[in-house]
Structure 1
Amino acid sequence: MAGGLVALLDDIAALAKLAAASIDDVGAAAGRASAKAAGVVVDDTAVTPRYVQGLTPDRELPIIKRIALGSLRNKLLIILPAALLLSQFLPWLLTPILMVGGTYLAYEGAEKIWEKVAGHEHAVEEVAVGDPDHERTVTSGAIRTDFILSAEIMVIALNEVADEPFVSRAVILVLVAIGITVLVYGVVGLIVKMDDIGLHLSGRRSGAARSVGRGLVAFMPKLLAGLSTVGVVAMLWVGGHILLVGVDDLGWSWLYDLVHHAEEAVGGGALGWVVNTLASALIGLVVGALVVLVVTQVRKWRAPKDDIAATPAH
């Protein structure tokens, strides 16, 4: 009896070790999957603060909370089930879907550059204080944009762990969804409240506190501008890299091989990574610019028709 009990305890200990190892493996895989989506995460973090510009300070965090909850619903209730079904029954569609998302990211990045060059940047609208209709519009618009970025994050993460068993894939994607949502909107909340923290500190009696507060207030516009630039670069880089790897997966390897040879020519390592990043960003810029050109032309073709349709009959 005692021997049987010892054997049972040994079996339980072995199972516990196996479970712990599995948890470690899942955690490591979730970390790798999240890292692969880092560029889109940077873009998401850079894009979101603009949605609360023009709102009163007391409404910023509640709006960010609503956007974060909407983002989590997007990931867990819509994107995750669709991604898992796709990976289980139509895994060959992952690469084309990734490439469509990469093209969209490249387009977004190129469009922002074109708006800046052409002087067509969108101004921040003045809104009525506490206007619930505006808040609903802001929240729904942010959640729609987040859906596209979240889908790209989840598909990138899924592509990284496509060889894992189904249950492991599901657990990993849940961890990625929750972890990235908390990270992105935690950072966004900190960013949008930093100027309020600065204003609070600038009113303190301590000279050091006042200096830090004034410094924060002066630094925040530069940080937001810098984040916007980083977001554009991240979109071009990530979008271009997705397209670069995607065409190789589809059998057109010449472009991937060209970039790989350029990496080897500089000795690989950090310089190789820089070469790959610059090449990916250039590919993203070229593809994005072509899509911007097509979209702009289509809008021009549609504009006269829209004007005619909008003209009242006499």
Structure 2
Amino acid sequence: MPSGLVALLDDISVIARAAAASIDDVGVGVAKAGTKAAGVVIDDAAVTPSYVTSFTPERELPIIWKIAKGSARNKLVFLLPLILLLGAFLPFAINLLLIVGGLYLSFEGAEKVIEKLGGAKHGETLEDPIADPVAFEQARVSGAIRTDFILSAEIMVIAATIEEVSGQGLIARAAILALVGIAITIAVYGAVALIVKMDDVGLHLARKAGAATQAVGRFLLLAMPVVLAVLASVGTVAMLWVGGGILLHGLEELGVAGPAHVAHAIEHGVAHATGPLGGIMGWLAYALASAIVGLAIGAVIAVAIHIVTAARARY
């Protein structure tokens, strides 16, 4: 009996060590995946505030909450099982999924550039009189969730393809991707909520007693419109450089490596020429090259859609 108990305890110890090792592997995978996806996370945080600005203060947090729920649903309900299935049975289809996403992001970014340059607008914008605020809010939330789907797809694919994740078993991969999705959603939309409510914080501080507190409050009130305007522009550029970057990588995977090689040559040339600043300047050069690709392809798609829409409206 004792020997049986000892054997049982020994088996439990082995199982516990295996579970601890598995948990440790999941933790390493989450950390690696989060690091690799950091660039897209920044893009996501830059893009999202443009969907929330100019709404009344009491609607800002509810809108962010709706988008955050949609983002979590994108990652956990749609993308997680899709990427696991594609990785198991149709790994080449992941690249095609990313290319479609790159085309969509490039189109969205180019559409915004065309609108800013005075071109035809695609649907109702914040500058127009809003006939139905509820429908307009729903449209903005839907647009944000669609854009998030593309950015989330890249985040999840990046997470799924790094060695520390792809080498794990199915359950561990699913756990890592779920944790990455949840952590990034909380980080991105927590940051967005903080950004869009900072002017309210400034107003609150400006009404407090104390010259220093009031000065901080006034600074926030003056700075936040500028910050939000800059973020709106950064969000548009982010759509273009992420979309263009996806297309460059996707074409390279399909055997059309020329455009990606040119972009990387520009990156390495700038990095070599700028010495100590080579890392950041090289990255900026590659981002600019990607944005140009995204703008060119996205503009073609946008113009084609406008032509088709105008032709259908005449009939």
* Match status 1:248 vs 2:255: no
Q: Which residue of structure 1 lines up, in the alignment, with residue 180 of structure 2?
A: 176
**1:276-311 per-position Cα deviation (integer Å, ceiling 9, x unaligned):** 5523531341243133134314423541441x33xx
1:145 to 139, 144, 147: 147
Partners of 1:140 and 1:257 lie apart in 2 by: 36
Equivalent position amino acid for 2:28 in 1:
A
Q: Unaligned regions of 5+ residues in structure 1, if any?
A: 310-314
- Asked if the contact 2:267/2:285 (under 8 Å) is kept, the reply is no
Task: Give the direction of change, closer, same or farther, for the CA distance of 1:114–1:302 in structure 2 (3 Å limit).
Answer: closer
* Match status 1:191 vs 2:195: yes
- Asked if the contact 1:96/1:246 (under 8 Å) is kept, the reply is yes
* Match status 1:223 vs 2:227: yes
Q: Secondary structure at the match of 1:59?
A: helix
Q: Which residue of structure 2 lines up, in the alignment, with residue 312 of structure 1?
A: none
Q: Which residue of structure 2 lines up, in the alignment, with residue 289 of structure 1?
A: 296
Q: Which residue of structure 1 lines up, in the alignment, with residue 102 of structure 2?
A: 102
Of 267-276 and 239-248, the range deviating more from structure 2: 267-276
Q: Residues 116-127 of structure 1: matches in 2 within 5 Å?
A: 116-118=116-118, 122-125=125-128
Q: Residues 1-314 of structure 1: matches in 2 within 5 Å?
A: 5-6=5-6, 8-118=8-118, 122-125=125-128, 132-160=134-162, 161-257=165-261, 266=271, 271=278, 274-306=281-313, 308-309=314-315
Partners of 2:294 and 2:80 lie apart in 1 by: 28
CA RMSD of aligned residues (A): 3.2
Task: Give the direction of change, closer, same or farther, for the CA distance of 1:124–1:191 in structure 2 (3 Å limit).
Answer: farther
Equivalent position amino acid for 1:158 in 2:
A
Partners of 1:290 and 1:132 lie apart in 2 by: 33
- Asked if the contact 1:61/1:189 (under 8 Å) is kept, the reply is yes
Partners of 1:232 and 1:137 lie apart in 2 by: 18
Partners of 2:114 and 2:149 lie apart in 1 by: 24
- Asked if the contact 1:238/1:281 (under 8 Å) is kept, the reply is no
Percentage identity across aligned positions?
Answer: 49
Partners of 1:301 and 1:140 lie apart in 2 by: 23
Task: Give the direction of change, closer, same or farther, for the CA distance of 1:238–1:32 in structure 2 (3 Å limit).
Answer: farther
How many aligned positions are there? 307
Partners of 1:20 and 1:256 lie apart in 2 by: 42
Task: Give the direction of change, closer, same or farther, for the CA distance of 1:30–1:298 in structure 2 (3 Å limit).
Answer: same
TM-score, normalization by structure 1:
0.81
Task: Give the direction of change, closer, same or farther, for the CA distance of 1:301–1:251 in structure 2 (3 Å limit).
Answer: closer
Task: Give the direction of change, closer, same or farther, for the CA distance of 1:277–1:94 in structure 2 (3 Å limit).
Answer: farther
Q: Secondary structure at the match of 1:204?
A: coil
Q: 1:6 deviation in Å? A: 5.0
Q: 1:250 deviation in Å? A: 2.6
Partners of 2:55 and 2:187 lie apart in 1 by: 22
Of 110-119 and 19-28, the range deviating more from structure 2: 110-119
Task: Give the direction of change, closer, same or farther, for the CA distance of 1:109–1:27 in structure 2 (3 Å limit).
Answer: farther
Equivalent position amino acid for 1:194 in 2:
M
Equivalent position amino acid for 1:97 in 2:
L
Of 278-287 and 254-263, the range deviating more from structure 2: 254-263
**1:139-178 per-position Cα deviation (integer Å, ceiling 9, x unaligned):** 3443333333333332333333444322222111111221
Task: Give the direction of change, closer, same or farther, for the CA distance of 1:120–1:297 in structure 2 (3 Å limit).
Answer: closer
Of 119-128 and 239-248, the range deviating more from structure 2: 119-128
- Asked if the contact 1:111/1:289 (under 8 Å) is kept, the reply is no
Equivalent position amino acid for 1:156 in 2:
I
- Asked if the contact 1:106/1:285 (under 8 Å) is kept, the reply is no
Task: Give the direction of change, closer, same or farther, for the CA distance of 1:298–1:99 in structure 2 (3 Å limit).
Answer: closer
Of 269-278 and 85-94, the range deviating more from structure 2: 269-278
